[in-house]
Amino acid sequence: MERLMDKYEKKLIRAGLCRPEGIVFAGMDDELIFNRSNPHEKILSPLFDALSINSLLFARPLEPYFSIMNYLAATAQGSIRPTDTETRTFLHELPTLREFSASSLIGALKHRKTVIIEGEGVVTFGSVSPEQAFVFFSSVCFATFVKFFSDYLTHRQRKRVTPFEEETFQRAVAALGSPHGSCGFMARGPFASEPAIIEAMCQAGRETVDLSLVDSYFGNISFRHHDTIYISQTGSSLDELEGLIDPVPLDNSSCAGVTASSELSAHKEVYLGGTATTILHGHPRFSVIMSMDCPDHDTCENRKNCHTRCSKKRFTQGVPIVPGEVGTGPFGLSKTLPPTLLAHGSAIVYGHGVFTIGRTDFNEPLTNLLTIENTMREAYFNAL
């Protein structure tokens, strides 16, 4: 347990989400242990008796997340409801508290995976491993970032920005840092063997995470070699793909796809419909934000179902935006994404993220993914 808590503490630091002193991990082995002494042990310890958990994370995020969360918590009336796809799917809503007590935390975490305590930080947990707590915390940072900047853009367009919101925005922008200028060197294809393919996928996955183009474990990657798709497993971290890549026959002649990414069906349709050999999917933040910026939102008959039923052909900065949900249902990505992705080489799924394809290796799709995110970041501030 101590080894795992140390691993995910370092991941939080590496991702720029927290400082070491702002991270409190607790885990149950033979006894309850904390990664460092802290003044909140008497509040956090009772959660292990009241909830079915084996690990707990209480962390104060760095800027811009801390100011953003405090603003949203102060104005949300008890619960923040982001509309990005990952929050809809995994977190649903983000409860907020002003009282930092064991009873209030237990009440919130019995129904949701995370809780934001105004002025303090985020409490979340793992029922199996500290990895879950890391994923939930990272997802809260992503969701609140996207919601705040998306709401601010809408409020500026409608001249409804409050002084509190403007102050928070200025503080958040000051903490953004500069965008990444280029990708690191990656192996060049074509790749003729399974080990070479897997190494190239692992390398591209690590670079995608290093460029902040994905949060927690979200995102996926694949490579087509003859009649086999090599694809990251569902729930796998893109920076730790070793041993977590499935070879899936295109003819469904094996059950390897059972553990593959939930977006396998979309990848498969792309490969069957064209000449691409690589697909990379990430969740760059400003791309997600700009995908949800629609001037017709208030009058559209599908405004409450934009993520699945948008009927307009939309582009932002020349990049197409498509609706779609994970899977093969009537609004599944396997139906909405492939034609557009094959026609344009890249596409943004509304509120979800960017898909890019390549013909030989991952240099082209990763470069395009980074270029799209930098373009969307610039477009966002130009739109203000």
pLDDT of the residue at 353: 93
Q: Which two tokens stand for residue 88?
A: 């809809």
CB atoms within 10 A of CB 312: 12
Least confidently predicted of 26-30, 253-257, 328-332: 253-257
Least confidently predicted of 45-49, 260-264, 321-325, 352-356: 260-264
Band (pLDDT 50/70/90 cuts) for residue 255 is: low
pLDDT of the residue at 296: 67
Among left, alpha and beta (phi > 0; psi -120 to 50; other), residue 320 is beta
| pLDDT mean over 86-100 | 85
Edge-to-edge strand order for the sheet containing 23-28?
Answer: 32-34, 23-28, 55-59, 121-126, 114-117, 94-97, 79-80
Least confidently predicted of 172-186, 188-202, 337-351: 172-186
- Percent of the chain's residues with pLDDT above 90: 77
pLDDT of the residue at 217: 64
Closest CA to 287 of 225, 350, 335, 361: 350
pTM passes above 0.85: yes
Band (pLDDT 50/70/90 cuts) for residue 84 is: confident
Cα dist from 279 to 54, 256, 274, 368, whole Å: 36, 19, 12, 11
pLDDT of the residue at 331: 78
| pLDDT mean over 172-185 | 91
C-alpha of 291 from chain center? 15
Band (pLDDT 50/70/90 cuts) for residue 298 is: low
H or E element at residue 224: strand 220-225
Closest CA to 204 of 93, 278, 139: 278
Band (pLDDT 50/70/90 cuts) for residue 299 is: low
Cα dist from 207 to 5, 122, 186, whole Å: 24, 27, 9
- Structural domains in the chain, CATH included, are 2-174 (3.40.225.10), 194-383 (3.40.225.10)
pLDDT of the residue at 191: 94
CB atoms within 10 A of CB 258: 11
Alpha helices in the chain (DSSP H): 2-14, 41-44, 47-50, 65-75, 85-86, 102-109, 130-157, 163-174, 194-210, 264-273, 285-291, 306-309, 333-336, 338-344, 363-383
Band (pLDDT 50/70/90 cuts) for residue 77 is: confident
φ, ψ for residue 53 (rounded to 5)? -135, 160
Residue 48 has pLDDT above 70, yes or no: yes
CB atoms within 10 A of CB 252: 10
Band (pLDDT 50/70/90 cuts) for residue 218 is: confident
Tell me what the pLDDT averaged over the chain comes to: 91
pLDDT of the residue at 207: 95
Q: What angle do CA 291, 324, 218 make, to 5 degrees?
A: 75
φ, ψ for residue 352 (rounded to 5)? -120, -60
Band (pLDDT 50/70/90 cuts) for residue 311 is: low
H or E element at residue 295: none
Determine what percent of the chain falls in helix, strand and coil, rounding each to the nearest 5: 45, 20, 35
Query: Is 95:144 a contact under the CB 8 Å cutoff?
Result: no
Q: How far apart are CA 143 and CA 149, in angstroms?
A: 10
Query: Is 325:331 a contact under the CB 8 Å cutoff?
Result: yes
Residue 326 has pLDDT above 90, yes or no: no
Band (pLDDT 50/70/90 cuts) for residue 73 is: very high
